[in-house]
Structure 1
Amino acid sequence: MLLRTATTATVLTLLMSATPALSENLSHLNQLLSSRECEDCNLVNAGLVRANLAGAQLQGANLANANLSRANLSGADLTGANLTGASLNGADLTGANLTGVTLQQTDLRNSYLTNAQLEGTSLENAYIQRAVGIPTSASSADQLYRLAVAEAQQRNYEIAVEYSTQAIEADSDYAPAYLGRGVARYELGDESAAREDAEVAAELFAAQDNAEGVQASQQFMKAMEIARQRPEDNGGGSSFGDILTGIGSLLMRFLF
């Protein structure tokens, strides 16, 4: 009997000690939704899908694993906030202050980041595919090139060109991006621009003592020449197809 009483008392004590934390989280959530002011709030796992949080004051807030998909956060101040694992897929972050925000494994796909402030913030470990308005200063050439390759694999060549160009803007000596952009431009029918990119890629690879890169660039130029001389091989012939397959394998190898 004493043991049962002691056990019951222990359970009640634990429940009572946990209640304030749960209540406080709900209080913070209600505060945010009613006033859009919630600095340093605990909003872990909060469900805020499509929430209208334009101009919200969320400095230092903990939004880890929160669902902010398609939320309106335009002009919001998220300085120093924790968005680890949060979903902002399709969210509007136009003009938002994301200075010093933690974006580990954060889903920013299809989001809008035009004019967003990202000083001291890295997008390197965030998912940014199809995000609009990403400044090249917040992402690396490697990351942008990975996105370009992913889009090219889906035959989204125009987007692949855009990501490759952004990678080049981030690092003007990033040779794989020139070659990747050249391949995408060729698939879009712009052989002249494709050849220019391939030539630049070959020069950069040579300067960087990257024999595989030089080989890939030369193979690509050879493939274009074959296609021009034998139009029936373009896109379907074994020679042209085999060469492009080899280039694709090399391009993928540059990612690792």
Structure 2
Amino acid sequence: MKFHNFASLTLFAALFWVVPAKAENLQHVQQLMSTRECQSCDLSRAGLVFSNLSAVDLSQANLSLANLNQANLSGSNLANTDLSGAVLVRANLSGADLSGANLAGADLREAYLYGANLEGANLDGAILQGAIGLPEELIGAQQFYSWGIAEFQRGNFSGAIDYYNQALTKEPDFSAVYLARSLARYRLGDEEGAIADANRAEQLFATEGNESGRLASVQVAEGIVEAQEALEEANNRGRGGGGGFIRFIGGLASMLLQFGL
């Protein structure tokens, strides 16, 4: 199973929604609600927000671009179902059979997936941030890394570090993760840890022959030291940190974007 970064995902979602809207098949929606069975039905773009669809049989149905936000699909049969681009935010999919399902580009943020069967499911481009019960073997280091960057950009530096740690558990020598974690640690006031991570990133980038990454890591480590010294000097003079210190912080954030972190 493959996962792509958020930029690709955003483009993927945008391409879906610029297509002229097609009305949902009301006959099939009514069949689903009355019989709780709708195998091979056309439910694309159906609005099923908050629907109680527990234990329904939707095998091989077309639910592409359907809105299933916070729907209850626990124990449902979604085998070989097309859920591409579907909104499943906070949906309950616990115990659901999603074997062979197409979840490409689906939004599964904070969805409940405990006990779900995802064997053979296509999760290419799916948004899985915050999904609960997702088997860890389905999540690679790059995905954890991307989630960490998203949290960093939101200002949730502790959350970013949690994701970076999980990425490093999967791939201990992931150089860019050390650089990213260095910045998050710095924002939390852990200068010592930030410098250690930047130095580790420098070593790994050097081993990889990535000179731009190595130089960026050196600049981060040196910049942290210089910022500390500037702040101490400013405090001794009875001033605040000054604009230079703030600009340094902004420079670190820009560096994240520059390296696609």
TM-score by length of 2: 0.74
Q: Is the 8 A contact 1:142 1:255 kept in 2?
A: no
- Give the drift of 1:140: 4.4
In structure 2, the partner of 1:175 is 175
Q: Tell me the percent identity.
A: 43
Q: Is the 8 A contact 1:50 1:71 kept in 2?
A: yes
Q: Is the 8 A contact 2:141 2:168 kept in 1?
A: yes
Please tell me whether residue 254 in structure 1 is matched to residue 239 in structure 2: no
CA distance in 1, matches of 2:66, 2:134: 22
CA distance in 1, matches of 2:117, 2:203: 36
CA distance in 2, matches of 1:56, 1:190: 51
In structure 2, the partner of 1:221 is 221
Look up the SS of the partner of 1:71 in the other structure. coil
Over the aligned positions, Cα root-mean-square deviation in angstroms equals 3.1
In structure 2, the partner of 1:86 is 86
In structure 2, the partner of 1:37 is 37
Instruction: Return 5+ residue gaps in structure 1 as ranges.
Output: 1-21
TM-score by length of 1: 0.75
CA distance in 2, matches of 1:133, 1:189: 32
CA distance in 1, matches of 2:242, 2:98: 50
CA distance in 2, matches of 1:100, 1:175: 34
Please tell me whether residue 70 in structure 1 is matched to residue 75 in structure 2: no
In structure 2, the partner of 1:145 is 145
Q: Is the 8 A contact 1:81 1:102 kept in 2?
A: yes
1:1-256 counterparts in 2 under 5 A? 25-232=25-232, 236-255=241-260
Look up the SS of the partner of 2:80 in the other structure. coil
1:91-115 Cα offsets, whole Å, 9 max, x none, are 1223433333212332223323344
Q: 1:202 to 1:85 in 2, by over 3 A?
A: same
Equivalent residue letter for 1:92: N
CA distance in 2, matches of 1:180, 1:246: 13
CA distance in 2, matches of 1:238, 1:123: 45
Equivalent residue letter for 2:44: V
CA distance in 2, matches of 1:113, 1:169: 22
CA distance in 1, matches of 2:35, 2:164: 42
Look up the SS of the partner of 1:70 in the other structure. coil
Look up the SS of the partner of 1:94 in the other structure. coil
Larger Rg: 1
Look up the SS of the partner of 1:82 in the other structure. coil
Q: Is the 8 A contact 1:136 1:170 kept in 2?
A: no
Look up the SS of the partner of 1:121 in the other structure. coil
CA distance in 1, matches of 2:202, 2:119: 34
